[in-house]
Chain A
């Protein structure tokens, strides 16, 4: 089970990273969300093998580690909030420019132009 989860974590990180490298804001946002899921799953796997619900005193047998679950829950809430903000920001960007591409840095353009001018 842990091996399977480890593979899933790997796939989530890989596809998240791939999406992050695109020039399209929507894809970047989705990429971040996917990577965030990978991280949350990693937290769960870090707690060790699955067991029963982490409530003390409800029978015997191995109990799941409650701490990673608490950590993952917090991380999920944070990712949710920030992703919402990011979506609002990309919407704002679309309203302002009617374009979903990441813009280049203005100053970079200026310096690049200068560099070309100096050589040519």
Chain B
């Protein structure tokens, strides 16, 4: 168990150092990256199976007892997130090896990507707030470098916004940790769960809101999302895809973890979270409709989809939480896939602007198939995974009579479908208003893409379908994870060693 819990963090970090040393041997560098992520994926699957059978597991680094030392904890929710993120990291790495924009900067890409992998795993496993902060910083520092990889003018402009906003959020995070330590004398989350209940209501609310703002910036919820659609599209495609799939979800994970563990509402729905959820959905999808570029439309959709996850949390019932977890899994897979397909289109044509594209249905039918499946899933059409996820959330909402948020979520779903058809019509149907540079050069033949980019994309499309086909067992798993979230006693016990 000790090995399984530390492996997803330690192995990529060690490999990152080795990868840096191998910079003269690109082939060895690639093999190392892929091999490490395969091992991590295998380890997380075993971890998930063990946690599913035996309940939450914890490791005290350096054998310091719980509230003092560094604790790594995996409950079912964390284990599910670890497996999904490891799978995405692996698929996107293979895609990146085949993608021209990242191979140009392979020397930095591979080590930094492994550091990002370590940071993401560490965030899911962190057992105390300060380690969560450190894990966030590891992940974000790596993301700053990946975001500005290549250093062209657009990337520097939007990278600057991204770095500054993230840094402000990090400073607020340190502030929150300081205030929580001053109020309770501990930063261990399991320890806090009991101690924070003793604080006066006003202090608790203040701390809860401060943490919500900190993680809200990372998760891109309503008033704090403006950096996201601006900065994501400028990075190289594999980088955007992995950011879109994982980074904001780490923020959502932190919101769910802290709100359920530290600020439980005793089963009442949280009006604040539901209001944030509804507004995030609506504003995100309206933003997406106004955009005119594949990556920018998809970026605004991330914001809109975060709303659904927060909605599941806001309902604060087991069914709602289970819906949120299922939604996160579905979203990570589908969103990453869509960005990868967007990258295929951009790679083949040289642009992602809708008015410069068109008619790709005949010239690249494979891309059209790879796009339409996850796009319909994102919009929530049956029988895809998005349908199962949205159905779970809607049912959870109806169960406790939250009709307003259910209505909003259904309306937003329709608008999502609308903006997906906008991409479909712009990219795959019709004729371009002006030929993009690369297309003009290639005449009117079939468009192709490097197999290393197509294969992982296709694999993720299939994975998305598997999520839909295995909907029932996956939903059961999410429900079990939700039960441990709403009743954190086993989690607290395994950390504090009762």
B157 touches A103 (CB 8 A): yes
Interface band, chain A = 35 or more
B144 closest partner in A (C-beta)? A85
A42 touches B164 (CB 8 A): no
Q: Whole-angstrom distance between the alpha carbons of A71 and B341 in the complex?
A: 43
Which residues in chain B, 152-185, are within 8 Å of chain A measured between CB atoms?
153-154, 156-161, 163-164, 167-168, 170-171, 174-175, 177-179, 181-182
A74 closest partner in B (C-beta)? B134
> Is B346 engaged at the interface, CB distance under 8 Å to the other chain?
no
B181 contact from A68, A74, A105, A107, Cβ within 8 A = A68
* Interface residues of chain B: helix, strand, loop or mixed (majority): helix
A35 touches B171 (CB 8 A): yes
Shortest Cβ distance from A8 into chain B, in angstroms?
14
> Is B30 engaged at the interface, CB distance under 8 Å to the other chain?
no
Q: Whole-angstrom distance between the alpha carbons of A18 and B153 in the complex?
A: 27
B290 touches A111 (CB 8 A): yes
A82 touches B181 (CB 8 A): no
Known contacts: A25-B160, A43-B177. The answer to whether A96 contacts B153 by CB under 8 A is yes
B130 touches A71 (CB 8 A): yes
> Is B480 engaged at the interface, CB distance under 8 Å to the other chain?
no
Q: B residues touching A (Cβ–Cβ < 8 Å)? A: 68, 130, 133-134, 137, 141, 144-145, 148, 151, 153-154, 156-161, 163-164, 167-168, 170-171, 174-175, 177-179, 181-182, 187, 230, 290-291, 296
Most buried by B among A81, A89, A106: A89
Residues of B within 8 A of A50 (CB): none
* Interface residues of chain A: helix, strand, loop or mixed (majority): helix
Residues of A within 8 A of B164 (CB): 20, 28, 32, 86
1/0 contact string of A8-35 vs chain B (CB within 8 Å): 0000000010001000010010001001
> Is A63 engaged at the interface, CB distance under 8 Å to the other chain?
no
A82 touches B137 (CB 8 A): yes
B171 contact from A39, A45, A96, Cβ within 8 A = A39
Known contacts: A28-B164, A67-B181. The answer to whether A39 contacts B157 by CB under 8 A is no
B293 closest partner in A (C-beta)? A107
A102 contact from B130, B137, B160, B170, Cβ within 8 A = B160
Q: Whole-angstrom distance between the alpha carbons of A97 and B156 in the complex?
A: 10
Known contacts: A82-B167, A96-B153, A96-B156. The answer to whether A45 contacts B182 by CB under 8 A is yes
Q: Whole-angstrom distance between the alpha carbons of A90 and B158 in the complex?
A: 12
B157 touches A107 (CB 8 A): no
A41 closest partner in B (C-beta)? B178
- Which 5 interchain pairs have the tightest Cβ spacing? A46-B182, A39-B174, A42-B178, A43-B178, A46-B178
